[in-house]
Amino acid sequence: LAMKRPGMLLRYKGAVNAEGKLRAADWEINNEVGYTVNMQTMIADELKHTLDMGYRCPNYSFRIRHMRTDKPESTFVRGPGPAVSSLANLLLMDHLAFEAGMDPIEFKLNNLYKDGDFDILGNKREGDNFQRMWSELLQLADIEARRKEIEEFNKVKELVLPTHFASAAGHDCCVLSDRLRSRAASQVYLTVQGSDGSVTLTHSGAEMGQGLGSTAKLNIDLTLIKLKPTDSHVTPNNDVTGGSSTSEWNCQAAVNAAEQINQRLETLRAANPQDSWPALVGKAVSAGICLAAMGTTRGRKAGRYCSTGVGAVEAEVDVLTGLYEIRRVDITMDVGRSINPGVDIGQIEGAFVMGMGYYLMERTVYDADSGRNLTDSTWEYKVPQAADTPRDFRVHILKQPAAAAMSTKAIGEPPICLAPLCVTAIKRAVEAYREARGKPRRHLTFDMPLTPERVLMLSF
C-alpha cells in the first residue's frame, strides 16, 4: 500500500442556544501530509468547504495547518475532504446533543438546512429536500417502532447490545466540481454517418452513460449510438475524470453537440416531416449540411448544486470482545433524475461499505523511528469483505429532478458521508451498556478508526 488518505487531527468547539439551535462552530484542522505536500491543499480546501454537512450554523471559523513528517506521502481517495468533514461534523453534533441533554436524532433534525438558508460558503440553499427525505426515511425504516424493539432487547441482553439509531443528514457540496469547471471544459465530438444514420461520439472522460444525452436530443434509437475511445487529439484541453461529475458534464456536452446538429437539420426536417432518421441525414449529406459538431460544457454555466442524503444505521456490539455487526442500514438519496438507477444504487452501497472500512477497520501503523508503514499488506491492514457488509441494506432513491446537467447529480463519492453513522451507532450501543452497568455518564471520545479493540476499551 503505497499511498492513502492523510492523517488528520481535528479539534472543535461548538455553541448551542436554549432552543437547541447550533449557533457557532470553531475548527482547528491539523493535516499530516507526509514527506511531500502533494495535493493536500486541495483536500483541505474540500474539507473546510463541507464542514457544515446538512446542518445550519450561522457562525463558522476554522484554521488549517499542513504538517510534513517522515511518513509516506498521502493522496486523494474517494471523497477526500468530505469523508473527514462528515465524521467530524457528526461527532460535533453528537457531542453538542449530549451536553445539551437532547436526543441526538431530534437535535440533528432541529438543525437541518431549510430552503433559503445560507451555507458555509455563503450560497443560498434551495431544493435540498432534507425535510422530505428525513420524513420518508422515518417511515420507510420504521424508526420509532424499531427504537422501542431495541430498548426491549437491551433490557434482556446484558453483554450484547444493539444501538438505537444514529440518524443524520449527509451531503457533499460540489465545491470540487465548481473548481474543476472553472479551469477546464468537457467536450464531446459528435458525427453522423449519412449512409446509415449512425452517430459516433468521442468524449473527454471515461464512459459512464454519456451516449444517453445524444439519444434523447436527436430522438433516435440507442442502437445507433457508437462510442469511440477517448482521444485528446479529438477532444483536447479537458479535465480529469473525477469528482463524481465527469458523467454529467460530458452528458451535457453531448446534448450541446446534438442540439447543433438539430439546428442544422431544422429546415430539412420541416420540409420532410415523414422521413426516417437515416433518410433525413442522407438528404442532409446531399445538401452539403455538416453533420459533425463539437459540444462543450464549462461547468460555471451549469449551475451549482448539492448531492444530499439521509441515513439510519443499526449496530450490535459484543462488549466482551469489542466485535460489532452493522445489522441494518437505511439510506435515502437525492440523485436527481437517475441515468441508471442500478448503477446509482451500486455506487451508494459501494461508497458506504468503503466508508465502513475507513471509519471502522483500516488502521495504519508506522514505525516510530523510520516512519515505515508497518501495516503494508492485508495481513495487518483490514478492508471490508463480503461478511462485513450490512446484514440488511436498503437504499431508496428520491424521485426529484435536480438543477444540474441532464437533471442528474453526482453519486460516486457523496454516499461515503453517511458511513460515519456506523461510528455513532456503535457508540450508542456502548453508551447503552455503560448505562445498564451503572457506569458514570460521560461523553465518549476515541481515536479513529473505531476498531474492535477501541470499542472494547470504551466499554469498560
Question: Which pairs with CB-CB distance under 8 Å and at least 24 residues apart come from 377-385?
Answer: 377/1, 381/1, 382/357, 383/357, 384/353, 384/354, 384/356, 384/357
User: What confidence score (pLDDT) does residue 329 get?
Assistant: 92
Q: ∠295-209-302 over CA atoms, to 5°?
A: 45
306-318 and 160-162 beta bridge pairing: antiparallel
C-beta separation of 179 from 214 below 8 A? no
C-beta separation of 312 from 424 below 8 A? no
**What cell does 301 get?**
454555466
Task: Give the pTM.
Answer: 0.82
Cβ-proximal residues to 359 (8 Å cutoff; 6+ apart), any chain: 87, 419, 420, 422, 423, 448, 449, 450
Alpha-carbon distance of 130 to 115, in angstroms, equals 9
Mean of the per-residue pLDDT values of the chain: 81
**If pLDDT is split at 50, 70 and 90, which confidence band does 179 have?**
very low
In the chain, list all ranges with CATH 3.30.365.10. 7-114+129-174+305-459, 185-302
CATH code, residues 185-302: 3.30.365.10
C-beta separation of 329 from 311 below 8 A? yes
- DSSP bridge partners of 168: 311
Average pLDDT over residues 151-162: 65
160-162 and 60-68 beta bridge pairing: unpaired
The answer to whether residue 292 scores a pLDDT higher than 80 is yes
Selected from 3.30.365.10, 3.60.15.10, 3.10.150.10, 3.30.43.10, the CATH number assigned to the domain covering 7-114+129-174+305-459 reads 3.30.365.10
pLDDT > 90 fraction of the chain, expressed in percent and rounded:
30
Please indicate whether residue 390 or residue 176 has the higher confidence score (pLDDT).
390
Alpha-carbon distance of 312 to 425, in angstroms, equals 9
Residue whose entry in the numeric block shows the C-alpha cell 420532410: 272
User: What confidence score (pLDDT) does residue 280 get?
Assistant: 93
pLDDT > 70 fraction of the chain, expressed in percent and rounded:
84
Average pLDDT over residues 303-323: 83
